[in-house]
Structure 1
Amino acid sequence: MEDSMGRRPQKLELTWFNKDQALIPTEEGKYGYTWVDPKDPRYCETHTLVAEELVRGEQSPKEEGVTYSERADLEPAEDNLLVLGESGDVLEALTQVPELADKYVGQVKCVYIDPPFNTEQTFANYEDNLEHSIWLTMMRDRLVHLRTLLSDDGSIWVHLDDVENHRMRVLMDEVFGADNFLAEVVWQKASSPRNDARGFSIDHDVLLVYGRTSFTNLNREELREERRVLYTNPDNDPNGPWMFSDPAAPGAATHKGMIFGIQHPFTGEMHYPRRGRCWAYGQEKMLEIMRGWGPYELGKVTEAELDGQRSVLGGQSEPRTDVQPLIWPGWDENSAKRSVEKWNSRETLPQVIFTKNGLGGFMVKRYMPDTGEPPRTWWSNDRVGHNRAANNEIKALFPGRNPFSTPKPERLLERVIHIGSEPGDIVLDVFAGSGTTAAVAHKMGRRWVTCELLEETMEQFTRPRLEKVVRGEDPGGVTVTKGERVDATEEGLPEGISAEDAQKLMALLNKAISDNDQLKKSQDIRTLKALVKTAKSKDTVNWRGGGSFTVARLSPSCFDYDPALDLTTLTGAATGATLVASVAANLGFYLTPKDRHFDGILGRQHLAVVEGVLDDAKVDDLMAHLPEGHTLLIAATIVPEGVRDHVRRFRNGSRVLHIPLDLFTYTTAQEGK
């Protein structure tokens, strides 16, 4: 049974102080919050986004002699958004303002957020000392919006340390559903231990990864060189290079139909999966494979066969008398000789093979995957960078400044974005900071949306960094992939040795003979060096600039709540176009700026916002321009007595709404109802 959001009911739920309450910022541009009722207009108000400027860059032409990746040929994304404003209000705008909701709801493929870790420390550019219940409420409200924005095949990545990780895991189970948990990725963030640590020196952060639904689609990763060299093709298998792999899988208790004996074609002995495991293939498939070795058939279920099954099951359940072993009838020394000849013939071997030149245990061929490997959960800093590398990237962009204590390296975000999206997809980050997520997304041909709370951070770091990206003035991070070690031998590196392995071997060898002139001149040493000779390939350029982004800010609040009056009031910003846009957003109307008479439309209903007195003459004028069969909603700041009756006389279903009392009817008398 599922809830209204399509999630299965949770058996475990996290509770905290004031979980049923909402939070509003106590001061613009800072992390500080006040508890209010969820119906309080200061929480419920939908803000709009006010576009201020379009920042554009041009893609530079390719240069002769420079190596470029396929990514460098991607069309730079144009439809990107950088917003100054509180993340909760920005997410509310993206999900509730009709023009934005049409564009983003259910359209975001990958969300990465690096929220305040709640470590009771005050960093230079944001406050990070939120009490647990405040932090959980803040994150809960944002996660709900983020879930709405994600596409059905999208994923969310939440970057955390060990302070709130355990609580966040339960909270995300609640919001996204435990069934949609994908992984807890561990990132090795440290490059060395901290001598000033009290107790343990923390080496890692985690990224909790959840899918929007069970249809979440993740990309595989390219097979690394040190993994690629493990695959060989000694028998010219037409399926390509392969490596030895375990022929058994977990699940003996639930897959008893896949537990049976197989007679070894070399020794004649019966073999079974290891205890607690079952064959990776069913009986029919295994029989087909073994017939590549000889005339295998289904044998009789003897007491010896049942004992063999029992050795696998370990007393957890009874063996099955209806599952027959695979045998080579009449196996003898000639059968063994035939198997050895097949092994030595260098012809393509069956998919089941054996260790120790055929005399060892059962194995199967695992072929080199064409589409790469599934992403793994351990991300070492030599692959995705560490905090020190991230600091160096920021210092290169902003020389002489060290503004962030825990920036993230671009290679870390490169892996997240690669796994979670495709070029052209939307990537979202609502805790922009230095802008790493948006910068990397842009360089990878993704569209992006990001926001930053602190104006100083945005103006000094986030925006300038992204301007450098679109203008092609950011040479660091993933802009360029440094050249790698490659095979430089005449006949290829020895089997199973990667270029990295060869480089390490060469370095160790040179170190070992550094003080021995005789060995340095040795022909054997020279021959060995020639066998493991490598070279460094050229650097590869991945980004040439280009694309654009819109700079916007969150609209000011038009509505406030006065506890003394127990009423919703208008702020000083509630005037002109700001008021019109706010009313339209909070009522769910699309703005119609080119319409001379009406401010918005929703289906066949028009909206007119009147700042001031709504009198009969104004009503008559609006009604005169109302299309046949349409209705009108008039929202006015002053509604005199009798004007509602005047509107009703038109008998076309039109009505009048007072701003703000009919928009937000909350009073303290309603609390708890």
Structure 2
Amino acid sequence: MSRQQRLELTWTNKDKALIPTEHGRYGYTWVDPRDPRYCETRVLTVDETVTGTRADKEEDTTYSERADLEPQSDSLLILGESGDVLEALTRIPEWSKKYVGKVKCIYIDPPFNTAQTFANYEDNLEHSVWLTMMRDRLLHLRELLSEDGSIWVHLDDVENHRMRSLMDEVFGSGSFVAEVVWQKSDTLRNDTQQFSTDSDSIIVYSKRPEFAPNKMPRPESMNGHYGNPDNDDTRWFNSGPTAPGAATHQGMVYAIQNPITGDLHYPIRGNCWALRQSDILEMLSEYAKFELVDIKDSEERSARCGVPVSEIRPDVKAIMVSGSLKESANSAKRRVGQGKWPKFFFASNGRGYPGKKTYLSSEGVPPRTFWPHEEVGSNRSAKREVSVLFPEESKFATPKPERLLERVIHIATNPGDIVLDVFAGSGTTAAVAQKMGRRWVTCELVEDTFNRFTRPRLEKVINNEDQGGITVQKEERADATEDGLPEGLTPEEAQKFTSLLNKAIKNDDELKKNPAVKQLKKMTKTKPVKGVVNWRGGGGFQVAHLEPPCYDYDPEVALTTLTEHATGNLLVRSVAAQLRFALTPEDLYFDGKRGREHLVVVEGVLDKEKVGEVMAHLPEGHSVLFAATVVDDFAREHVRGFKNGSRVVHVPLEVFPYSDAAEEEK
């Protein structure tokens, strides 16, 4: 799908790139996009694998189906800057093969750019810097996203409008799915000078417009709309027998005669009957004998359709009673008394306007775009969750509640899918993903946050030492009546009713003894139900870090140089990463491979002896790319003489051929 847009967001230095100026903090400077400091793909090193223990089930404890999901062990926690991490995941063959096009859900909670400085990260990036930083990351994130995946960007109202335009530019406006409003505050702030801000926004885009989110569980409150006045097998409600589109569906605009009253019923103006005429005729025939009759009602039908009589279809017939009205009335009354009326029926015990049944479905409902704090938690509850995990630590400034991420991950993924968050913070996204049986990748820039919050939290999760958040569902209420709660009343609503009733009669002893009041309490009696356990620990994850840069660039002399870190195995891995070679550590002669081309990295001078040794072990029809830190013309000519496509490049000058001075001279 083309991502060209009619409108484009512009900002200062949009054509430039950003490189970090501080280690472990948000600080950037502008450079040309071809600058080696920007183009370098940093090496990602796995340090260790952390595994947890799954707890056995206990008697007298209720467990959900989620508690039986196999804990995931194929997850990745990274210490490093998000832009460099994304470069590694998308460009280094070992990682790109695993993650590019494989991530089902991306949730990011980036710095909000609110000109505030928090304890755990700085959030004061100037708009153009923030937009460039986000643009570069979104481009990588789009590569990682699967074809049926979605990306959720959590923001407040400072950059929200700009982010929508930026997302349109990167993903295409047709990939916009929704803008979710999260009620983050559960209290009114009296210390504000203007408005007390209650909500954040979560912008949702998909990789493709056909994205199909998972349904949400049907809330019990919705079931109150459904009844069963005719003793049908399933509860239903009258959703109305018409649908919009009378002018374009004239064949579905006609009269239906009531078999008891004889009245003629038409669709409301502008609407048509919602079912095919043949289906309606078949259903109504359960009431009495009906037939199709031309009743010459073109004027009435034209008024209903909103088109001139001259344009109305003349061949549309009405559904009319066949035979005497007395016979049809007796037949219809008998049918009404039998119950289990047809899907298309006459309301008011057969005497009213037609109706159409919509049955209570066992399937879920589409997600809504307003998420109240009662359902998904608030800032206050999120801070409480982290405080319980780390009582000795100072509070983390901006955590998100686990129930909020639970809803995102439920809508966007299934067990076993990959969830990605490159602004880990306290680690909520990864913690919830682990508890929900998903694989995950997350990274954190600030080492202090990583060591005090992110990693310890995830270790607690896999070791079943985190009993908060979504680990256990909150205690609920259950029906405790003898004959069942009144139809449509949930246990929570019944408890609330009883509580309010008790408050109302608190000081009235006569009412407390009133039989009617006692009966109401008996009808709405509930009991507490112990919380259901969703998570028992287990699984694990790898811990990795970004290696330091191996290349530097001095704009004063327009020269690319190697850093002190560019030596030994790291130099080999770095060259392979820049040139997109997959490492071959088990091979005695070649450092990497890309198709039929092999890589050999030489730290120092490439000599004739080294070339000869390598060529002697080169498979027929293959070639070699020699990457050496010292190269002379003899080496190039010698390699070229083998006439098998092999070549030599200098590290770093020919790996990063850019020179800003040369560009200015052009």
TM-score in same-fold range (> 0.5): yes
Which of 375, 379, 384 is residue 376 of structure 2 equivalent to?
384
Distance in 2, Cα, partners of 1:566 & 1:553: 30
Q: Are positions 1:172 and 2:164 aligned together?
A: no
Whether the 8 Å contact between 1:615 and 1:640 is mirrored in structure 2 is no
Q: CA deviation at 1:71?
A: 0.7
> Over residues 598-638 of structure 1, what are the superposed CA-to-partner deviations in whole Å (9 max), with x where a residue is unaligned?
11011221101111111111111111222222211110111
Which of 234, 239, 245 is residue 239 of structure 2 equivalent to?
245
Equivalent AA in structure 1 for residue 497 of structure 2: L
Which of 476, 479, 484 is residue 484 of structure 1 equivalent to?
476
Q: Are positions 1:565 and 2:557 aligned together?
A: yes
Q: CA deviation at 1:311?
A: 3.8
Distance in 2, Cα, partners of 1:46 & 1:314: 66
Mapping for residues 25-36 of structure 1, pairs under 5 Å: 25-36=20-31
Distance in 2, Cα, partners of 1:297 & 1:120: 74
Q: Are positions 1:332 and 2:325 aligned together?
A: yes
Distance in 1, Cα, partners of 2:616 & 2:2: 49
Distance in 2, Cα, partners of 1:267 & 1:335: 10
Distance in 2, Cα, partners of 1:254 & 1:611: 76
Q: 1:462 is matched with which residue?
A: 454
Whether the 8 Å contact between 1:152 and 1:215 is mirrored in structure 2 is no
Q: Are positions 1:425 and 2:382 aligned together?
A: no
Equivalent AA in structure 2 for residue 300 of structure 1: D
Q: 2:528 is matched with which residue?
A: 536
Distance in 1, Cα, partners of 2:166 & 2:312: 43
Residue range with higher mean Cα deviation, 229-238 or 453-462: 229-238
Name the SS for the 1:635 alignment partner: strand
Name the SS for the 1:458 alignment partner: helix
Q: Are positions 1:502 and 2:480 aligned together?
A: no
Equivalent AA in structure 2 for residue 221 of structure 1: M
Distance in 2, Cα, partners of 1:151 & 1:333: 65
Distance in 2, Cα, partners of 1:104 & 1:671: 38
Q: 1:568 to 1:505 in 2, by over 3 A?
A: same
Distance in 2, Cα, partners of 1:476 & 1:486: 22
Whether the 8 Å contact between 1:120 and 1:130 is mirrored in structure 2 is yes
Q: 1:268 to 1:35 in 2, by over 3 A?
A: farther
Q: CA deviation at 1:336?
A: 4.0
Q: CA deviation at 1:556?
A: 1.4
Q: 2:38 is matched with which residue?
A: 43
Residue range with higher mean Cα deviation, 470-479 or 283-292: 283-292
Q: CA deviation at 1:477?
A: 0.1
Equivalent AA in structure 2 for residue 403 of structure 1: K
Mapping for residues 53-64 of structure 1, pairs under 5 Å: 53-64=48-59
Distance in 2, Cα, partners of 1:249 & 1:498: 32
Distance in 2, Cα, partners of 1:421 & 1:325: 49
Name the SS for the 2:83 alignment partner: helix
Aligned residue pair count: 665
Distance in 2, Cα, partners of 1:130 & 1:323: 67
Q: CA deviation at 1:314?
A: 8.3
Q: 1:403 to 1:195 in 2, by over 3 A?
A: same
Q: CA deviation at 1:287?
A: 3.9
Q: 1:489 to 1:307 in 2, by over 3 A?
A: same
Distance in 2, Cα, partners of 1:574 & 1:96: 19
Equivalent AA in structure 1 for residue 422 of structure 2: V
Q: CA deviation at 1:279?
A: 3.8
Distance in 2, Cα, partners of 1:575 & 1:664: 17
Q: Are positions 1:206 and 2:198 aligned together?
A: no
Residue range with higher mean Cα deviation, 221-230 or 567-576: 221-230
Equivalent AA in structure 2 for residue 588 of structure 1: R
Q: 1:154 is matched with which residue?
A: 149
Q: 1:19 is matched with which residue?
A: 14
Residue range with higher mean Cα deviation, 358-367 or 178-187: 358-367
Equivalent AA in structure 1 for residue 205 of structure 2: Y
Equivalent AA in structure 1 for residue 365 of structure 2: E
Equivalent AA in structure 2 for residue 466 of structure 1: L
Distance in 2, Cα, partners of 1:458 & 1:256: 66
**Which consecutive unaligned segments of at least 5 residues does structure 2 have?**
none
Q: CA deviation at 1:215?
A: 3.5
Q: 1:522 is matched with which residue?
A: 514
Q: CA deviation at 1:254?
A: 5.3
Name the SS for the 1:583 alignment partner: helix
Whether the 8 Å contact between 1:84 and 1:553 is mirrored in structure 2 is yes
> Over residues 573-618 of structure 1, what are the superposed CA-to-partner deviations in whole Å (9 max), with x where a residue is unaligned?
1111111111111111110111111110112211011111111111
Which of 210, 213, 216 is residue 221 of structure 1 equivalent to?
216
> Over residues 462-494 of structure 1, what are the superposed CA-to-partner deviations in whole Å (9 max), with x where a residue is unaligned?
111111101110010000002211111111111
Q: 1:641 to 1:459 in 2, by over 3 A?
A: same
Q: CA deviation at 1:301?
A: 6.9
Equivalent AA in structure 2 for residue 208 of structure 1: I
Q: 2:612 is matched with which residue?
A: 620
Q: 1:65 to 1:47 in 2, by over 3 A?
A: same
Which of 344, 361, 364 is residue 372 of structure 1 equivalent to?
364
Whether the 8 Å contact between 1:391 and 1:402 is mirrored in structure 2 is no
Q: 1:3 is matched with which residue?
A: none
Q: 1:280 is matched with which residue?
A: 274
Distance in 1, Cα, partners of 2:13 & 2:260: 70
Q: 1:554 is matched with which residue?
A: 546
Mapping for residues 399-478 of structure 1, pairs under 5 Å: 399-478=391-470
Q: 2:632 is matched with which residue?
A: 640
Which of 84, 89, 93 is residue 89 of structure 1 equivalent to?
84
Residue range with higher mean Cα deviation, 56-65 or 615-624: 615-624
Distance in 1, Cα, partners of 2:126 & 2:243: 46
Q: CA deviation at 1:422?
A: 0.7
Q: CA deviation at 1:277?
A: 4.1
Mapping for residues 308-319 of structure 1, pairs under 5 Å: 308-311=301-304, 313=306, 319=312
> Over residues 10-33 of structure 1, what are the superposed CA-to-partner deviations in whole Å (9 max), with x where a residue is unaligned?
233222222222221121211122
Q: 1:506 to 1:355 in 2, by over 3 A?
A: farther
Distance in 2, Cα, partners of 1:255 & 1:377: 32
Q: 1:341 is matched with which residue?
A: 334
Whether the 8 Å contact between 2:560 and 2:653 is mirrored in structure 1 is yes
Whether the 8 Å contact between 1:260 and 1:309 is mirrored in structure 2 is no
Distance in 2, Cα, partners of 1:400 & 1:269: 77
Q: 1:398 is matched with which residue?
A: 390
Distance in 1, Cα, partners of 2:474 & 2:239: 33
Whether the 8 Å contact between 2:74 and 2:439 is mirrored in structure 1 is yes
Whether the 8 Å contact between 2:286 and 2:335 is mirrored in structure 1 is no
> Over residues 378-408 of structure 1, what are the superposed CA-to-partner deviations in whole Å (9 max), with x where a residue is unaligned?
2111111111111111111111544333321
Q: 1:197 is matched with which residue?
A: 192
Q: 1:653 is matched with which residue?
A: 645
Name the SS for the 2:633 alignment partner: coil
Distance in 2, Cα, partners of 1:540 & 1:185: 28
Name the SS for the 2:478 alignment partner: strand
Q: 1:350 is matched with which residue?
A: 342
Q: CA deviation at 1:356?
A: 4.2
* TM-score, normalization by structure 2: 0.94
Equivalent AA in structure 1 for residue 242 of structure 2: A
Distance in 1, Cα, partners of 2:244 & 2:123: 44
> Over residues 98-137 of structure 1, what are the superposed CA-to-partner deviations in whole Å (9 max), with x where a residue is unaligned?
1111111111111111111121211211111222222222
Equivalent AA in structure 1 for residue 663 of structure 2: Q
> Over residues 361-384 of structure 1, what are the superposed CA-to-partner deviations in whole Å (9 max), with x where a residue is unaligned?
443222222221111112111111
Residue range with higher mean Cα deviation, 278-287 or 554-563: 278-287
- Across the aligned residues of Structure 1 and Structure 2, the Cα RMSD in angstroms comes to 2.4
Question: Alignment identity in percent?
Answer: 59
Equivalent AA in structure 2 for residue 200 of structure 1: F
Whether the 8 Å contact between 2:183 and 2:199 is mirrored in structure 1 is yes
Q: CA deviation at 1:226?
A: 1.7
> Over residues 316-352 of structure 1, what are the superposed CA-to-partner deviations in whole Å (9 max), with x where a residue is unaligned?
x965445544444567354344334322322x11112
Q: 1:622 to 1:372 in 2, by over 3 A?
A: same
Distance in 1, Cα, partners of 2:574 & 2:82: 18
